[in-house]
């Protein structure tokens, strides 16, 4: 027996309707916000993520699925959605089109993590990426897109925002943070000791209790913002206030990826225990340049769909049930068997979903099966029906029977 790889999941036929509901809702909300889908490959050159995600991040340091292909290229399975979209933006010369460019994706994401509830090695994200505008109102729109989707799905979430500033204010802040932590370097975890040298800000994102305690009263980046970043942050908040979206400022959100500038945000919930972040995002004005393009500002988010579904389950959010099949045609005897097969196909071609017996079952067992697949109507064909051409269509909700001619089934209004 070969088992499923650790940290991955099957979506079974009995539960795929839940995924369809979440994905279709995401597509609908994207349409309302005038966002178009972009599809990029599941794997990219490893170099893209080294440059685009950053080599001081957990993702790049510990979590990537990297391998050499038969052509001796280093390939990595997408560990997040943004870098691939940024590459596609540059490669397809999308600078020239109408700006801002508003795109969304639904994609599998691969991270070599320790599997737990809500933490998988293959998970799925709905994400959006807007390019070409550095105006704070578009950051607010990104946040609103996530909020609208989460609330449409029946979830209650809390919005936390922060500004990570730009190169200039961040340099000042990193200096202050290093001074603050200078006496405690040896009590930090190994990774954070490295971060202290390479990218001290990332220490704020450490999940180790010891490091979390050390940074409890750390200086706040919001106190170090330059005039431009500070105005941008105020403008973002004004936009959120205009639409009445409540938020909290959390000066310690720094997000897991290196490319963020200015706005960062997270939607959290306490219904999922430790894995409480369902959506995170922010602005990445330096990204396109960092991977070799002309400087273009960008902003977006990634939303973990497994976590969204877990959360919906935890709060009993309503999910419209699977429709079931419209017509089941039971048959007994050879002539009826061929007639049922023919009719089922003819109905399908007309756009009516239909099913018939493929197991050589008794009438009784076929009716049971029709019940199981939630057939709305059942037609039973035996020798008698074939001979006389008179049949009954039974509506299953109330048992009402309609008598019609066999050759008129296709005109029946199911």
Residues 6+ apart with CB under 8 A from 305: 19, 22, 23, 106, 123, 124, 125, 126
Between 221 and 347, name the residue whose CB sits nearer to ligand ATP. 221
Residue 236 corresponds to which tokens in the numbers above?
């973002």
> Closest approach of Cβ 146 to ligand ATP, in Å?
10
Nearer to ligand ATP, 165 or 302 (CB): 302
* Count of residues interacting with ligand ATP (CB under 6 A): 19
CB atoms near residue 181 (< 10 Å): 20
Contact 259, 82 (CB under 8 A): yes
Cα angle: 22, vertex 148, 52; to 5 degrees? 80
Task: Please state, in angstroms and as integers, the Cα–Cα distance from residue 129 to each residue in 41, 68, 108, 141, 265, following that order.
Answer: 16, 29, 16, 11, 14
Which listed residue (51, 111, 202, 262) binds ligand ATP by CB under 6 A? 111
Q: 111 vs 376, which CB is nearer to ligand ATP?
A: 111
125 binds ligand ATP (CB under 6 A): yes
Q: Is 268 in the site for ligand ATP (CB under 6 A)?
A: no
Tokens representing 315? 């709060």
Does position 283 interact with ligand ATP (CB under 6 A)? The reply is no
Q: Which stretch binds ligand ATP (CB under 6 A): 32-40, 120-128, 383-391, 396-404?
A: 120-128
352 contributes a contact to ligand ATP by CB under 6 A: no
Interface of this chain with ligand ATP, residues 286 to 315, rule: CB under 6 A: 302-304, 306-307
Told to check if 256 binds ligand ATP by CB under 6 A, we report: yes
**Euclidean distance between CA atoms 311 and 188, whole angstroms:** 33
Least distance from ligand ATP to the Cβ atom of residue 80, Å: 5
From 52, 53, 80, 206, residue interacting with ligand ATP (rule: CB under 6 A): 80
277 binds ligand ATP (CB under 6 A): yes
Who contacts 80 (Cβ-Cβ below 8 Å, separation ≥6)? 49, 53, 59, 109, 125, 257, 302
If the CB atoms of residues 118 and 251 are measured against ligand ATP, the closer one turns out to be 118
**Separation of alpha carbons 308 and 203, rounded Å:** 27
> How near is the Cβ of 108 to ligand ATP at its closest, in Å?
11
Applying CB under 6 A, which part among 136-144, 148-156, 173-181, 270-278 lies near ligand ATP?
Answer: 270-278
Residue 378 in contact with ligand ATP, rule: CB under 6 A? no
End-to-end CA distance of the chain: 44
C-alpha 53/C-alpha 291 separation (Å) is: 10
Stretch near ligand ATP under the rule CB under 6 A, chosen from 163-171, 277-285, 323-331, 342-350: 277-285
Instruction: Name the residue among 234, 279, 333, 317 with its Cα closest to residue 128.
Output: 279
Q: To which H or E segment does residue 280 belong?
A: strand 277-283
Q: Does 120 bind ligand ATP (CB under 6 A)?
A: yes
Q: Which residues bind ligand ATP (CB under 6 A)?
A: 80, 111, 113, 118-120, 123, 125, 256, 275, 277-280, 302-304, 306-307
């Amino acid at each position: 027996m070969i088992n499923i790889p650790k940290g991955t999941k099957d979506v079974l036929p009995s539960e795929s309707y839940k995924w369809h509901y979440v994905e279709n809702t995401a597509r609908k909300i994207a349409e309302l916000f005038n966002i178009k889908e972009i599809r990029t490959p599941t794997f990219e050159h490893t170099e893209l993520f080294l440059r685009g995600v950053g080599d001081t991040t957990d993702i790049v340091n510990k979590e990537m699925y990297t391998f050499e292909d038969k052509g001796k290229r280093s390939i990595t399975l997408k560990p997040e959605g943004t870098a691939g979209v940024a590459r596609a933006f540059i490669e397809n010369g999308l600078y020239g089109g109408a700006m801002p460019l508003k795109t969304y994706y639904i994609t599998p994401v691969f991270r070599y993590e320790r599997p737990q509830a809500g933490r998988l090695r293959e998970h799925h994200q709905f994400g959006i990426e807007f390019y070409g505008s550095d105006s704070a109102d578009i950051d607010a729109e990104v946040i609103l897109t996530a909020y609208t989707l989460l609330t449409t799905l029946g979830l209650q979430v809390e919005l936390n925002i922060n500004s990570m500033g730009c190169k200039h204010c961040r340099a000042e802040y990193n200096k202050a943070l290093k001074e603050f932590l200078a006496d405690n370097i040896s009590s930090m975890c190994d990774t954070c000791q490295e971060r202290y040298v390479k990218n001290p800000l990332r220490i704020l994102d450490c999940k180790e209790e010891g490091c979390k305690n050390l940074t409890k009263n750390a200086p706040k980046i919001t106190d170090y913002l330059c005039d431009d970043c500070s105005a941008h942050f105020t403008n973002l908040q004004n936009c959120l206030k205009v639409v009445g979206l409540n938020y909290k400022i959390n000066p310690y959100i720094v997000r897991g990826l290196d490319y963020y500038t200015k706005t960062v945000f997270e939607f959290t919930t306490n219904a999922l225990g430790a894995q409480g972040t369902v959506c995170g995002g922010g602005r990445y004005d330096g990204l396109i340049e960092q991977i070799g393009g002309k400087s273009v500002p960008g902003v977006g988010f990634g939303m973990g769909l497994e976590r969204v579904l877990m959360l919906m389950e935890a709060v009993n959010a309503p999910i419209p049930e699977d429709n079931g099949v419209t017509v089941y045609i039971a048959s007994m005897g050879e002539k009826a068997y061929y007639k049922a097969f023919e009719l089922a196909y003819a109905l399908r071609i007309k756009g009516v979903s239909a099913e018939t017996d493929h197991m050589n079952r008794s009438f009784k067992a076929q009716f049971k099966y029709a019940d199981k697949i939630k057939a709305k109507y059942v037609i039973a064909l035996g020798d008698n029906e074939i001979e006389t051409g008179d049949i009954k269509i039974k509506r299953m909700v109330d048992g009402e029977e309609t008598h019609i001619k066999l050759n008129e089934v296709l005109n029946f209004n199911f």
